[in-house]
Every structure is written in structure tokens, then in C-alpha cells.
A = this chain, B = another copy of it.
Amino acid sequence: VTSESAFIDSLRALAAHPGARGLIDDVAVLDIGGETIVLTHDAIVEGVHYLAIDPPADVAWKLLAVNLSDLAAKGARPIGVLLGYALGDAAWDRDFVRGLAGALGAFDLPLLGGDTVSMPAGAPRLLGLTAIGRASGPVPSRSGARPGDDLWVSGTIGDAGAGLEILIAGGDGPAGLVERYRNPRPRLEAGARLAPCVTAMMDVSDGLLIDAGRMARASQCALAIAVDAVPLSDDYLAFRGDGRAARIEAAIAGDDYELLFAAAPGDAAALLALGEEIRLSLSRIGVFAKGAGLALDDAGTPVALPPRLGFEHQG
């Protein structure tokens, strides 16, 4: 079996167009008639990206949300979506459409097209979605962080991973954590407001540490992250406590769909004020430097990297 990263490397030769951004930015960026169009396509697979027991309406929400999160991280506002749907059980399909209707309604978005196919009996399903967005300003890449920039993250980290653990164990834990797993909220307003202020931005989908490491590598910088600064929710703290292990667990959990961004230190006050205005906490959690590699500390004490930094399997 080919690894995802090796496969994507083999595709890079086909993606010389500047709009492809070297296939490192999860989106394509096209200038059309003086406007900037941002396109993303993410797929989710039964048994890989969602549980067969997950309610179909939540699968629909997640399929939309993971794509909108990619647009949010580029400062783009969504225009509409194309759905690539594999038919299955009739009741499941019906509930999926109801869920998709609710999810599209929540973001006031139209379905614009797509394709519906049948699968061989018993095959796990792959559901794909293409989201089309428009950016009214600069479209930050993940490769623009500079030595001296701060690393920031929106919201709280680790909730969705804890929610997944609760679901797998049978359901005992704060409902807010399960909600974060099943119904991630793409940070569209924050992304559009932050885009002009950041030097790099991406979403956190595979885990804070692995995604932050990717931003540092793409930006050809070293990065130090303060574990004690990783923002945790009250639900998370109640569920796991707030020791170092709980903080590191949050930082590798994945499925957060928060925004991870780099900004000049001089912009910190303006960013904190913006967070207050849009009612979303923005937390400074690290610093970029010359060099390479990812390092952790906890209240100033160096901490070893965990053996796994997040999920490799997600796109």
C-alpha cells in the first residue's frame, strides 16, 4: 500500500500551476475575472474517518464542515458545494439528505451539483464534497511563517478527540465533547477576519502538533510550542484533568477544526482584540525561529515529543 505522503509527492509534478500551491495548502486558488476563488475537495470513508454507528445526519455535517474548515483557513467564504455520493441503505441515505439539508441551511449554502453512484453490495462508502469559496483579500498559505512570528490557535483543542473516546467507550462523559466530535464548527468568520493579519494559516484536522509541525516545515522554520498554553475547554478539563499528559493528549487528538496561524509579535494586541470582537478565544501557543524541527516545553521546562504527533491518514 502506498503511503499518502508518497502518493501526494508523486502527484506534485502534475501540479505546477501556481493555483495548486504545490499541493501543500489543502485548497486551489484561482484568479477569475478579478475575483479570487478557493476550491477544496475532501472525502471521508466509513470505518476510517467516521464510525459506521455515527448518525447519518452527523456524517453529513462532518463532510460539509471539514471542507468549509479548509476554506475558513484560507479566509474564504463559501459559495456552494458539489456532492459526490455513494448510495447505500435507503434509510441511511434519507437521513443523510435530511442532515445535509440542515447543515447547508446552517451556513446558508446551496448544493450546486455533483454525482451519485452505486457501490458493490457491502462496500464501505466514500463520500466526497467539493466546496467553492470566494476570498475578498489575501489567501494565506501554510508556508508563510517567519522566524520570530508567534503561533496561535483558535478556540479549544482536544475536545473532539475526547468525544470520540467517549463514543467508543459507550457514552459516559460531557455531551459537549461528543458534540465537538460530531458537529465541528468551521471557523469561517474568524478565518475571513484573520486572513489579512496572519503570515500563515491552516486548520487543525490531524492534531495540533502534527499540523503545527507541517506549518513549520512548509515555512522552513523551527517551532517551539508551550504545552501549558494549549487552550482547553472546561469540559475537557473536567474529563481529563489538566496535567501535562492531558495537555499533550489534546495536542495530538485531531478533529479539532480550529484555526492555526502565525503572526508577527507586534500584532498580538490587535489579534486579542479581534478574538474578543468575534467571541472566539485566540491563544498564543508557540514561537517560530530560524532552523528546523518542533520542540515542546511546559512552563519553561523542555518536554519530549510524544511518539505520535497526530493522524497521518487524513488529508
A positions within 8 Å CB-CB of B: 1-2, 4, 7-8, 10-11, 13-17, 19-21, 23, 25-28, 30, 32-35, 37, 39-49, 79-80, 82-90, 93-94, 97, 100-101, 104, 110-120, 123-126, 128, 130, 132, 134, 313-315
Q: How far is the CB of A217 from chain B (nearest CB, A)?
A: 18
**A30-B132, A97-B10, A110-B14 are known contacts. Are A41 and B82 too (CB-CB below 8 A)?**
yes
Q: How far is the CB of A203 from chain B (nearest CB, A)?
A: 14
Q: How far is the CB of A96 from chain B (nearest CB, A)?
A: 9
Q: In the complex, which residue of chain B has the Cβ closest to the Cβ of A37?
A: B32
Q: In the complex, which residue of chain B has the Cβ closest to the Cβ of A90?
A: B2
B residues less than 8 Å from A89 (CB atoms)? 1
Q: In the complex, which residue of chain B has the Cβ closest to the Cβ of A49?
A: B117
B residues less than 8 Å from A86 (CB atoms)? 43, 45, 126
**A32-B134, A116-B7 are known contacts. Are A20 and B110 too (CB-CB below 8 A)?**
yes
Whether B115 and A48, one on each chain, are in contact in the complex, defined by CB atoms closer than 8 angstroms, is: no
- The CA of A82 and the CA of B43, in the complex, are separated in Å by 12
26 cross-chain CB contacts under 8 A? A2-B90, A4-B87, A4-B116, A4-B118, A11-B100, A13-B101, A14-B97, A14-B104, A19-B110, A20-B111, A28-B113, A30-B79, A32-B32, A34-B34, A37-B37, A39-B112, A40-B82, A41-B115, A41-B128, A43-B84, A43-B117, A44-B117, A45-B117, A117-B314, A119-B124, A120-B124
Whether A113 and B23, one on each chain, are in contact in the complex, defined by CB atoms closer than 8 angstroms, is: yes
B residues less than 8 Å from A42 (CB atoms)? 115
Q: In the complex, which residue of chain B has the Cβ closest to the Cβ of A79?
A: B30
Whether B32 and A87, one on each chain, are in contact in the complex, defined by CB atoms closer than 8 angstroms, is: no
Whether A48 and B119, one on each chain, are in contact in the complex, defined by CB atoms closer than 8 angstroms, is: yes
B residues less than 8 Å from A113 (CB atoms)? 15, 20-21, 23, 25-28, 39-41
- The CA of A117 and the CA of B206, in the complex, are separated in Å by 13
Q: How far is the CB of A148 from chain B (nearest CB, A)?
A: 30
Contacting residue for A32 out of B15, B16, B35, B82, CB 8 A: B35
